Structure 1
Amino acid sequence: MAIIKSKYLKPFKNIFILILVLFAVWMLFLDANSWLIHHELNTEIEDLEDEKEYYRKEIEKDKKALKKLGTEEGLEKFAREAYYMKRDNEDIFIIEYEDSLKIKQDD
């Protein structure tokens, strides 16, 4: 049996250091609560927090839009712009420019 005389492996002759290193490797990489799993979970938490902030901003934007639709002027403006509604004594002319039209080209 060959005797290991390397200066780098000399500390591993001590059983306590060997057990400590094995325990550290086990806890960092192999355990169910390892550092790798905690890192993945922390990344997922950060992503969910970002998503939560995005939805909060969207809710605020929607609340503002609902508040505008709650008024008579806002509701009328929405109906005119989105559904081309008009009053009884009005005529609506929709002007479309050539660059805004979707023309089907035969190839």
Structure 2
Amino acid sequence: MTGRLNVILSLISHYKYLIVCVIGVLIVGLIDENSFLKRFQLEMQISDLKNEINKYTEQYEADSRQLNELKRHPKAIEKIARERYFMKADDEDIYVLSDDKKPIETNNEATE
């Protein structure tokens, strides 16, 4: 038992600097609050948030343009009402065409 302990202690004393460096790298790289792993995760989160900011900025600009258009031209209100809400005049008919395919209904009652 003491022979094994002496061997282990001699290995530790021989490689003490290497062991300390490996433990330090593990702490800094993986375990610490400011680790490289945490930093990478935060950079990915920042990138996602910047993309989201860009998306909302573009949406805001488009909505602002549309709002200005509505304020300037009263006919624009009618256009939006017709396009989005399918509103129509009294003497008009509206036909809505869709590319969606209806699922084929099968009658499985006979097989049950």
TM category (shorter chain) comes to: 0.5 to 0.7
Alpha-carbon spacing, 1:23–1:67, altered in 2? closer, same or farther (3 Å): same
Runs (4+) of structure 1 exceeding 3 A deviation are: 1-4, 14-18
Give TM-score, length-normalised by structure 2: 0.63
- Percent identical among aligned pairs is 26
Aligned to 1:18: 19
Taking a change above 3 Å as real, the CA distance of residues 96 and 35 of structure 1, as seen in their structure-2 partners, is closer
Residue aligning to 2:79: 77
**Which residue does 1:91 correspond to in 2?**
91
TM-score (ref. length: structure 1): 0.65
Would the aligned equivalents of 1:28 and 1:35 in 2 still touch at CA under 8 Å? yes
Which amino acid letter does the alignment assign opposite residue 39 of structure 1?
A: F
Post-superposition shift, 1:56?
0.6
Aligned residue type for 1:93: D
Count of residue pairs brought into register by the alignment: 97
Letter paired with 1:78: I
1:94–1:85 CA distance, 2 compared to 1 (3 A): closer
1:23 Cα deviation after fit: 1.3
In 2, the alpha carbon distance for the partners of 1:77 and 1:84 equals 9
Partners of 2:15 and 2:94 in 1: how far apart?
Answer: 88
Contact 2:70 2:77 in 1 (8 A): yes
**Structure 2 portions without partners, runs of 5+:** 107-112
What letter corresponds to residue 93 of structure 2 in structure 1?
F
1:36: how far off?
A: 0.8
Q: Flag the 1:96–1:47 CA change in 2: closer, same or farther, 3 A.
A: closer
